[in-house]
Amino acid sequence: MKLLIVTGIFPPDIGGPATYVPTIAHALAARGHEVSVLTLSSHLNHEDHVHEYRVFRIERDLWKPLRWLKAIYMVVKLARSVDVLFACGLCLETVLGNAFVRRPLVIRVVGDLAWERARARAETDADFETFQKTRQSFHTRWIQRLQRFWMRQADRIVTPSRYLARWLVSTGIQNDRLIVIHNAVEPQLSLEPVSSGLETSVTVVTVGRLLSLKRVDGIIRAVAPLRGVGLVVVGDGPEKPSLERLARQLGVQDRVCFTGRQGHEESLRLMKGCDFLVLNSNHEGFPFVLLEAMSVGLPVIATAVGGVPEIVEHEKNGLLVNPAADSLIGCLKRLVDFPDLRSSMGQNALSCIIDRFSPWQAIDAIEEVLQRSRGN
C-alpha cells in the first residue's frame, strides 16, 4: 500500500498528532508499506533522512493564502502516486487537493475545530457540550460548515473515543463511516526519571498547553493547603503569567515549578520523576497525556469529562473527579496520604497500557481501515 499522511504538526513540534503520526508512519513503513508524510513546519531544515518514510514540509509562517495553496498543490502532487490518503490535520486542504486526484480518503477527527477556534479568539467561554447547542457568530458558523463539508468527503472517519464518535453522529456523520480507534503508547519501562528540583515529600505533575479550559489554577488552589506537596507544571501557553501570579498570591511559589515547554521525552522523564498526574480540564476528547502518564507507571486524577472515563477506571488505575464539584482536593489528599494506594494504582495503570492501549493493537486497526478504504 502506498500511503500519504497529512498533518498540521510533526516533530520537533510537540502534541498529540506530533506523537501519533510518527508512530503510525514508522509502524506502517516497517510492515512494508510505502509511506510519505506532508506537514507544516516552523523550519524546513530537519534530519528527516533518519525516518523510514519520506517527509515533505511546508513553511508554517508563510502568508496563509499562499500556505493553503501550497498545501493543496502538494496534496495533488503527492497523492497522484498513492493508494490512500490519511488526513490527521490540514483536512480542508487535503479534501480540496483530493478533488483533483480522487483517492480514497480517511480522516482522523480528534475534536471540534469550530469550538477550539472560538475559544482561542475569546468568542465563547462555553464548554464543549453547551457550545454544540448554542447559536454562534457568523464566523464560527462558517467554520462549522467547512468542518461538516470536509468530514462528509471522507470515505471513513477515525476518532479516538466513543464520546467523540457520538458527537460526530450528532453532526450528521453516518455511523457506518465511523471507526473508534483509541490512542496508544509504548510502556516506558526503561526510561530514566528526571527530578523537578522541588524538595517536597510528594510531587504532583500536570502536563499540557496552559489554557483556561485546562483549569490548572484549580490544581494550584488544591495543592496550596497540602503541606509537603509540590506541583510540576509542564507546558506553556497564555495562562502561564496568571498561574505564576496565583502561586505567588497563595504563597506556594516555592512548591510550584513551571518548567515551560519541554520535548516529548523530557516531559515523560519529568512525569516519571513525580508521584501522580492530575488533569483538571473541563473538556477532553481522548487525552493522550493520561496514556503517557500511565505508561511511566503513574496513577492519575482526572475530571470525568469527554473520553476520560474510557481511559481512567475509577479506584483502579486512578480517580475520576466530578468537574462541577469541589472534590479535587479530597482526591489529591487520598493519593498523598496513602502511598500504597498510589503504588497499586500505578501498577494497574501500567498494566492497562499493556492490555488495552498497546500501539500494535491501534496500528493493526488503522492498517485494516486504510486497506479497506483502498479497496473501496
pLDDT in tens, 7-32: 999 888 777 778 889 989 999 999 99
Q: Are 95 and 89 in contact (CB under 8 A)?
A: no
Hey, how many other C-beta atoms are within 10 angstroms of the C-beta on 59?
13
**182 contacts: CB under 8 Å, gap ≥ 6:** 160, 161, 286, 310, 356, 357, 362
Q: Quick one: pLDDT at residue 31?
A: 94
Q: What is the pLDDT of residue 210?
A: 93
CA angle, residues 308, 10, 105, in degrees to nearest 5: 80
Q: Which residues are CB-neighbours of 311 under 8 A, at least 6 positions away?
A: 286, 287, 290, 291, 294, 302, 352, 357
Specify the pLDDT at position 376. Answer: 61
The pLDDT value given to residue 359:
87
Q: Which domains are present in the chain?
A: 2-184+358-374 (3.40.50.2000), 202-356 (3.40.50.2000)
Q: For cell 508512530, what's the residue?
A: 23
Which pLDDT value is given to residue 333? Answer: 95
pLDDT of res. 109: 95
Q: What is the per-residue pLDDT for 11?
A: 86
Give me 49's grid cell.
533522512
Q: What is the pLDDT of residue 44?
A: 78
Which tens digits make up the pLDDT trace of 45-76? 788 888 899 999 999 999 999 999 999 999 99
Strands 54-59 and 84-87: unpaired
- Return phi, psi of residue 178, to 5°: -100, 135
H helices of the chain, in order, are: 16-30, 64-79, 91-101, 113-120, 128-132, 138-152, 162-170, 216-223, 240-249, 264-272, 288-295, 328-337, 339-356, 359-374
pLDDT tens sequence across 312-363: 999 999 999 998 778 899 999 999 999 999 999 999 999 999 999 988 889 9
Contacts of 112 (CB under 8 A, 6+ apart): 128, 131, 132, 147, 167
* φ/ψ of residue 260, rounded to 5: 75, -170
Q: Could you state, in chain order, the average pLDDT of each consecutive group of 10 residues for the chain (376 residues)?
A: 95 79 92 96 83 93 95 97 96 96 96 88 85 88 92 95 94 91 90 92 95 94 95 95 97 96 90 96 92 96 96 96 87 96 96 91 93 80
